[in-house]
Amino acid sequence: MKKYFGFIFTVVIFSNISFSQQFNVKDNYIKKEVYVPMRDGVKLFTSIYIPRDSTQNFPIMLNRTPYSVAPYGTDNYRNMVGPSQLFAEEKYIFANQDVRGRYMSEGEFVMMRPQIKNKKSRNDIDESSDTWDTIEWLLKNVSNNNGKVGQYGISYPGFYTAVGTLSNHPALIATSPQAPMNDTWLGDDFHHNGAFFLPHAFGFLNGFKRERSGPTQQYKPGIQFGTEDGYKFFLEMGALKNANKKYFHDSLSIWNEQMTHGNYDDYWKSQNVAAHFNNFTPVTMIVGGWYDSEDLYGPLKLYEAAEKSVPKNTYLVMGPWTHGGWSRNNGDTLGDIRWEPKTASWYRSEIELPFFNYYLKGKGTNPLSEATIFETGKYRWHKFNEYPPKESKLKNFYLHQDGSIKNNPPKEKNSFSEYVNDPKKPVPFTQDISMRMGTLYKVEDQRFVWNRPDVISFETEILNDDLTFVGPITAHISGSTSGTDCDWVVKVIDVYPDSTKNTIPNPRNAKMSGYQQLVRAEIMRSKYRDQNWSNPKPMVKNKITKIDFELQDIMHTFKKGHRVMIQIQSSWFPIADRNPGKFLNIYEADDSDFQKTTQRVYHSAENQTYISVRTMKVAN
């Protein structure tokens, strides 16, 4: 880990929109399509864009994807190549590859193919070996390359970039795993702390993991939902096993496969990239978004793992973005929330392009500090030499009987708040009508559930000074349930003053007076409370039990005049599947298994409920 220093810097954007709109890829690049042979004989379809400028040599930018390198055909060009149009204007060689078993590539596709540590034969292949073999072929067969390669990718391609980094090919100089899928059971995409993220898994797998008989340019479409109301659709679907009975009818093997791995067994453990993310040689810039509803866990855990073995080779960039939001648009808005800096435009021109230019072209200077972090709430960038910053100090925020939040623990005896969770009327995670998990819920006004009887809320006094949270937030619950299992959802919320005016227009004309902006939220399934993810155990009915879990990281300032709110509930539907209130395999539960349960959250001298988080003073 590196020492800490921090400062705030002003963002200046120089627009290149008019020039980019005039840039024509076909006029400036030659497109080739090739099959690149792997060591086991499988050939991977690769689309290569080479600058028409033959007066110099260029680095290769590699992107490996399961989402297609379309359009296919040497006369059909993409409108944009590379991480952004800036790269096309700068001139690189771009190699885009359909990964093994997807679209036009040969072979068998394996979901998040596990790494093989000690390869003993030509048939011991993984995504790292495919990356190595691809780079070897490109260096030998693509003219005008300068012998240096960079790799990048967002989301699933971020996974391929992370494991590609582990190939340690000597020509692979710089990589950037962006919103990488890292562990889809512990915290990315499909599960969070044992809870199944239903609409995202259902929708993604339905549209993505369709079977094929061989290389193809297009997959068959998934099932049609027949409605845009996800809350109604999934509630009427009922128990998880009904998805196959009512909709998939054994047409989606990956769904059935995942339904047989309810616990964190070897099937999931083998896919955990962070467990292998060490001892790599490429300089690596990990990028993530504070408002990423799919893969916030991935970049943070990859960075944490890399810092333990290769801190000098690893950098972190976290901005106020949704999933992949840094690659498009200006990055100055989300839902009802607006801020001044055009963060995505600035990142593309001042961070991403200079990073690859420096390491692959020897051009300019390295634009990165150890961690480049955006502070939400006050909406400004910081550069740190250590993350979380060394100046930050851990502080506890305790819930009290009167509904307050204080830094000192409660003194009351046998004090608790109680609510009934009804799985037939679960607490919605958003007020939007959608089949998707979406992105806006990450900052959504929580007043639509604030007064429900199955949601309990606690607030600080009005803040006399700015309060900045930085790093992971951990929830510590002393709770009980009348059942043998239940879920706990903890939400940290920024409550705006009642005097707040709508000074900046927002799409839904939301009233910002008293706005309850979600800052961070997470769910924990009680049977995994000891974090022995492979061996769950039941709750003892009505017994006070300690449940600790992480809400993931944030850097957010609750401004003077605001309040901090904590909400607790036991359903968050349909973003997370419903807990039946019984200790059983939820993937095999029947509709009749779902029952009401009564939860108690204790806030007494003996049994405290609180969150712990680092706080720090940030200069204005």
Q: What is the pLDDT of residues 301-360, one digit of tens each?
A: 999 999 999 999 999 999 999 999 999 899 999 999 999 999 999 999 999 999 999 999
At residue 458, the pLDDT reads 98
Question: Residue 35 in 3-state DSSP?
Answer: strand
User: Which pairs from 70-79 meet CB under 8 Å and 24+ separation?
Assistant: 70/103, 70/217, 72/33, 72/47, 72/104, 72/217, 73/33, 74/31, 74/32, 74/33, 75/31, 76/31, 77/25, 77/26, 77/29, 77/31, 77/49, 78/25, 78/49, 79/25
CB atoms within 10 A of CB 239: 19
Gap between the Cα atoms of 154 and 83, Å rounded: 9
pLDDT value at 217 more than 70: yes
Phi, psi at 587, each rounded to 5°: -70, -15
Rounded to an integer, the average pLDDT of 84-96 is 97
Question: Residue 121 in 3-state DSSP?
Answer: coil
At residue 21, the pLDDT reads 56
Question: Residue 548 in 3-state DSSP?
Answer: strand
Domains of the chain in sequence order: 6-183+271-384 (3.40.50.1820), 199-269 (1.10.3020), 393-616 (2.60.120.260)
Rounded to an integer, the average pLDDT of 120-149 is 97
CB 474, CB 550: distance < 8 Å: yes
| Confidence (pTM) | 0.95
Q: Which of 1-10, 220-229, 360-369 has the highest average model confidence (pLDDT)?
A: 360-369
Gap between the Cα atoms of 200 and 192, Å rounded: 12
Instruction: Give 3-state DSSP helix, strand, coil % of the chain, rounded to 5.
Output: 20, 30, 50
Strand 467-481 and strand 597-602: the pairing is: antiparallel
pLDDT value at 63 more than 90: yes
At residue 5, the pLDDT reads 35
- Residue 74 CA from chain centroid, whole number: 34
| 320 prior amide bond cis, ω within 30 | no
Gap between the Cα atoms of 581 and 527, Å rounded: 11
**Percentage of residues of the chain with pLDDT beyond 90:** 90
**Percentage of residues of the chain with pLDDT beyond 70:** 96
Segments in 463-610 forming alpha helices (H): none
Give the chain's mean pLDDT: 94
Q: Which residues contact 199 (CB under 8 A, 6 or more apart)?
A: 230, 234, 435, 436, 437, 574, 575
- Residue 402 CA from chain centroid, whole number: 36
Q: What is the pLDDT of residues 497-543, one digit of tens each?
A: 999 988 777 767 889 999 999 999 999 999 999 999 999 999 999 99
DSSP letter string, 460-481: PPPPSS-EEEEEEEEEEEEEEE
Gap between the Cα atoms of 216 and 213, Å rounded: 8
Rounded to an integer, the average pLDDT of 267-274 is 97
At residue 210, the pLDDT reads 83
